[in-house]
Amino acid sequence: MQDLIEQYSLYLRTERNLSPHTLRNYLSDLRQFHQFLLREGICEDKKRNIALEAIDHHVIRKYLGALAKACSKSSVGRKLAALKSFFRYLLKEQRIARDPLSFFSGPKQGKPLPAFLSVDEIFHLLGSVKGMNSSEVRDRAVLEVFYSTGIRVSELVGLNWNDIDFELGIIRVVGKGSKERIVPIGEIALKALRDCNAEQERKLKRSIKGERPVFLNRRGSRITTRSIARIVEKHLKATGILTRVGPHGLRHTFATHLLNSGADLRVIQELLGHASLSTTQRYTHVNLDQLTAVYDRAHPRA
| pLDDT given for residue 110 in this prediction | 59
Catalytic residue among 79, 140, 152, 235: 152
Annotated active-site residue 88? The verdict is: no
Is residue 84 located within the same domain as residue 199?
no
Asked if the model's pLDDT at residue 195 lies above 60, the reply is yes
Is residue 150 located within the same domain as residue 237?
yes
Q: Does a structural domain hold residue 221?
A: yes
Is residue 86 located within the same domain as residue 129?
no
Annotated active-site residue 251? The verdict is: yes
| DSSP-derived pairing of the beta strands 170-174 and 164-165 | antiparallel
Angle at 257 between CA 251 and CA 262, to 5 degrees: 130
With 0-12 CB in 10 A as exposed, 13-18 as middle and 19+ as buried, what is 140? buried
Is residue 131 located within the same domain as residue 243?
yes
pLDDT above 70 as % of the chain? 88
Q: Across the chain, which distance is largest between two alpha carbons, in Å?
A: 77
Q: How far apart are CA 6 and CA 149, in angstroms?
A: 37
**DSSP label at 43?**
B
Annotated active-site residue 274? The verdict is: yes
Mean pLDDT, the chain, rounded, equals 86
Q: Determine which of 90-104, 161-175, 238-252 has the lowest per-residue pLDDT on average.
A: 90-104
- Give the domain CATH number at 73: 1.10.150
How many domains, in total, are found in the chain? 2
Across the beta sheet with 170-174, the strand order is 164-165, 170-174, 180-184
pLDDT bin (cut points 50, 70, 90) of residue 207 is very low
Asked if the model's pLDDT at residue 43 lies above 80, the reply is no
Average pLDDT over residues 12-17: 83
Domain with 223 in it? 119-247
Q: Does a structural domain hold residue 11?
A: yes
Q: Does a structural domain hold residue 285?
A: no
Is residue 156 located within the same domain as residue 233?
yes
Annotated active-site residue 248? The verdict is: yes
Catalytic residue among 79, 140, 251, 252: 251
Is residue 73 located within the same domain as residue 183?
no
| pLDDT given for residue 188 in this prediction | 95
Is residue 29 located within the same domain as residue 88?
yes
Report pLDDT digits (tens) over 256-288.
999 888 888 889 999 999 888 877 877 766 666
Asked if the model's pLDDT at residue 68 lies above 90, the reply is no
